[in-house]
Chains A and B, each alone.
Chain A
Amino acid sequence: DTEVTQTPKHLVMGMTNKKSLKCEQHMGHRAMYWYKQKAKKPPELMFVYSYEKLSINESVPSRFSPECPNSSLLNLHLHALQPEDSALYLCASSHLRDTQYFGPGTRLTVL
């Protein structure tokens, strides 16, 4: 199984809402990543988890809160987002020294 799954596929939320994005992999990867991608731009790294511990936070605003409850799951909790946060959010996983596998992404729209 070389699949990374993400739910939901699409999400529309208001600026006062709280929502969560979910990412799951069963490849035994110990590194998991969140990226944000705006249209026609490259993915921008947000967070890296290594062995379920947050190891990189690329100065992401606190309205984005990551969580890694176990080695297979990665969540991104969203609160009080702004319209400019609308983007494709990609999750990826890898063995620590290997290629990343990307999930299909969640298309987020903030109204």
Chain B
Amino acid sequence: ELKVEQNPLFLSMQEGKNYTIYCNYSTTSDRLYWYRQDPGKSLESLFVLLSNGAVKQEGRLMASLDTKARLSTLHITAAVHDLSATYFCAGRGTTSGTYKYIFGTGTRLKVLA
């Protein structure tokens, strides 16, 4: 069964710095998702990565996918305080022909002024 791991679990960084969150998955996932969650709120979809080598960017966030390595990364460029949140990656597997989404452990990002 698909398993998804993220690291680091917690990330404290200074404003203006760059950092990368890593997401490894255990078996084939036909796509990889990144979500953001603010405290006490629901999940907001950030990116969907569909194929090997896919790269998507939105503002200071850039996500990429390497299906051969079973690895996705979320790169943060010149962090700002507003990016403080928990970030989840999720893979998609199937059970009895139905898609199911498996989430990573999450990375709690805190950007310090």
Interface residues of A (CB under 8 A from B): 31, 33, 40-45, 48, 50, 55-56, 90, 94, 96-97, 99-105, 107
Contact = CB atoms under 8 A, between A and B. Distances in A.
Contacts of A55: 96-98
Contacts of B42: 90, 102-105
Contact of A42 (B98, B100, B106): B106
B41 interface: yes
- Which applies to chain A's interface (DSSP): helix, strand, loop or mixed? strand
Contacts of A103: 42
20 contacts: A31-B98, A31-B99, A40-B106, A41-B105, A41-B106, A42-B105, A42-B106, A43-B43, A45-B101, A45-B102, A48-B98, A55-B96, A55-B97, A56-B96, A56-B100, A90-B42, A100-B33, A100-B45, A102-B45, A104-B42
B24 to A, nearest CB: 14
A99 B96 CA distance: 19
Q: Of B42, B86, B88, B105, which is in contact with the most chain A CB atoms at under 10 Å from its CB?
A: B42
Contacts of B104: 42
Contact of A45 (B43, B45, B88, B100): B100
Contacts of A100: 33, 45, 101
Given A43-B43, A102-B42, A105-B42, A97 B106 contact: no
